[in-house]
Amino acid sequence: MPVPLLQIDAFTDRPYAGNPAAVAILDGPADEAWMRAVAAEMNLSETAFVHPGDAGAWDLRWFTPTVEVDLCGHATLATAHALWSTGRVYADDALRFRTRSGELRATPAGKGRIALDLPVAPAAPADAPQALLAALGVLPTATGYGDRTWLVEVATEGEVRACRPDMAALAAHEVTILTAPSSGPDADVVCRVFGPSVGIDEDPATGSAQCALVPWWADRLGVDALVTHQVSARGGELHGRLRGERVEVAGAAVTVLVGELVA
């Protein structure tokens, strides 16, 4: 039977911005080889596969074009938007997703945003490999590591925007978040996220990065909530709040394509 498929731009309120994710809505579990093939065919940073689970929850998995990932914020936000917008779930009902990162929740957050409840993943201060810094071409003010992700802080937003990584060299390292204080009044911090080692040279807008960015900057700025502008070519706006051992990450989403998988 055909499988409903939506392409949704996440962490943006306008089409063709933010981070695009494909969402396949299944009746039940699917063959993993098929899911990997679909994700490669979609060739987006992530494709989500969701189906009804037990006790009112939904089972959710995410694949890049090359690997399955443990956590993907923007594709989770896109999945919630897909289930609500297609009428599979009432628009004001909270959603529970069973994933490789445990149970995640999505709730309407007002102003057209969806709030995700994600696990905190703080980056502890650590010396980044010199080869990684050389691949980025930056001089950091601080670096940290946690949950198989490097966080590299630089002094200015301009340095984040101007970064032109050597992707071939960066592919030898784990996912890297480059961040700095924002120079404008509409955001607290800026970031970019690079993951050539998992098949994504640069992710346009990354919900899971907030699991590290929010605790990192909350400590430095003395706040528990912040707005992050991800200054990729497509751009993204993410609203993060630290809630103990969890991080709330909110943003808008826009459907740009509705179709079916027939193979």
Residues carrying an active site annotation: 46
Amino acid symbol at 145: Y
Tell me if 173 sits within 8 A of 167, measured CB to CB. Answer: no
Q: What is d(CA 21, CA 208) in angstroms, rounded to the nearest whole number? A: 14
Q: What is d(CA 142, CA 125) in angstroms, rounded to the nearest whole number? A: 8
Terminal-residue alpha carbon distance, the chain: 9
CA trace torsion 14, 20, 26, 31 (10° rounding): 180
Strand, coil or helix: 56: coil
Q: What is d(CA 219, CA 109) in angstroms, rounded to the nearest whole number? A: 25
Question: Parallel, antiparallel, or unpaired for β 3-10 and 246-261?
Answer: antiparallel
Dihedral of alpha carbons 135, 138, 141, 146, sign: negative
